[in-house]
Amino acid sequence: MTQFGNVKEGLRFRIVLKPGVAIGPGKADLLQAIDETASLTAAAARFGMSYKRGWTLVKEMNGAFAEPLVETEKGGAGGGGSATLTRLGKRILRRYREMERDATAAIEAGIADMRRHLAKP
C-alpha cells in the first residue's frame, strides 16, 4: 500500500460492529499512535487532529466496548498526562490489523488488474 498525501492507496475498510459502533482506519491509526507515543496529544497531532477530536474518538471507543481500550492519566500542575492501551485495546488493534492484512492479501490481484487499466498521466 502506498500513500498519496493523506490518502492511502489500496484497501481501507471500516468494520461496523453494531449500529453506531464502528472501527476503521482512523480509529485504528489513533490507537496505534497512542501505543507508540503514550500520549493522546502526540497521537492526535500525528494526524493533524486536535486533542479534543482525539479525546472524543477515545471516549467513543471506550464507551463502545465492555472495558476501556485506552487509559489516560492526568499530569501534574504542568500537564503532561499519559495515555496507554489496555490489554483489550491492544487486542482490538491487533485484530483489526490482522483483518486489514488478510483482506488486502485477498484482493491484491484484483487491485493490480484494475490499476493496469487506469488512464496514463
Interval 16-67: pLDDT, tens: 999 999 999 999 999 999 999 999 999 999 999 999 999 999 999 999 999 9
CATH topology of domain 9-116: Arc Repressor Mutant, subunit A (1.10.10)
pLDDT at 29: 97
pTM as predicted: 0.83
Please spell the DSSP secondary structure of 47-91, one letter per residue: TT--HHHHHHHHHHHHHHSSS-SEEEE--BTTB--EEEE-HHHHH
Nearest Cα to 83, choosing from 46, 40, 28, 19?
A: 40
d(CA 118, CA 35): 38
What's the distance, CA 22 to chain centroid? 11
